[in-house]
Amino acid sequence: MKFYLKYLVYLSLGILGLTVYYSYKLHEVYEIKINQQKAINQNAEQIKATWQGLQPTIDAWKSSFVGITSVNSLYELNKVLGLHSAGVNLSASSMFEAGTSAISYQGVDLGLVSRCVKNKGNGFMIQSSNLENALNVLSYIEHRLDLSWNEVTLSSSEQGFQLQFPSLCVHLRVLEGEE
């Protein structure tokens, strides 16, 4: 019995040593996992803070650009143009699509689609009775972030003043609910 006790003690010491060693290793593994999780948590906190900081942008984006799924016809596109708010009455029946393209900025697809329209063979023309009205229309278009134009020509004629764009484009939101 005593003979075996000696070896049992040694065995127990060995088990204790191994247990302490593997406990230490286990502790190390856990520490690595915990530190990784802490880093992930910190990253998540930063993302959340950034996301919350960008909330005004999210709101502005949603209010500035109409979702593309709600624009299924030229009639609805004309409504989105909303030029009647600037005192210009345009008939959707005279409009036609001049092209569609994705909007990207600094190489990043923004999730916007530009739908361009014309109402004359050579562009999009807005007739105004006087210069003041023409400038008001131009101001309205300029302040709309979802409308874009590259070039405009203001000209006068006997009928009044004309604003002529090569085309007038409406930017529509493609990525719905990504926020």
Partner 1 sequence: MAKSKATITYISSIEDLSQVTKKTKRIVLAGSGIAPASLEAQGDEKKQGTADTGKYIKQPDIYSKAYLGLALPIGKRLKVRLLKHVAEKLVKQKHVCLSHDLIINWVRKNRKLFSKNVCIVACFNDGNGNVPIQIYNFSGDELVGFKEKRISVNYASSDLRQIINAEKEHYGECQTIGCGTPEMMAEESIQECFYETYGEQPFQEAKPKIPIVLKRNKNTSEIASIVFMLGIAALVLFATDGVQNARFAQEKQSYQTAIQGIESVINKGGASIELLQHKQYYMENISTQTQHEAHLSEILGAVYQVRQELTTTKAVLKTLSYSADGSLSGAEDREYDFVATLQINVGREENVGDSLNAVTGFMGRKLGIKLDSLNRPIVHVKGGINTVVYRIAGRFDEVGK
For 65-143, where are the alpha helices, taking DSSP H only?
Answer: 74-81, 131-143
Does position 110 interact with partner 1 (CB under 8 A)? The reply is yes
Cα–Cα distances in angstroms (integers) from residue 144 to residues 30, 42, 127, 168, 171, in the given order = 55, 39, 19, 12, 10
Tokens representing 94? Answer: 């005279």
Does position 101 interact with partner 1 (CB under 8 A)? The reply is no
With beta carbons less than 8 A apart as the criterion, state whether 163 and 135 touch: no
CB of 144 to partner 1, least distance (A): 10
Residues within window 4-33 making contact with partner 1, judged by CB under 8 A: 5-6, 8-9, 12-13, 15-16, 18-20, 22-24, 26-27, 30-31, 33
How many angstroms separate the CA atoms of 110 and 102, rounded?
A: 8
Does position 151 interact with partner 1 (CB under 8 A)? The reply is yes
Nearer to partner 1, 129 or 145 (CB): 145
Near partner 1 by CB under 8 A, which window of 53-61, 70-78, 86-94, 114-122?
53-61
CB of 11 to partner 1, least distance (A): 8
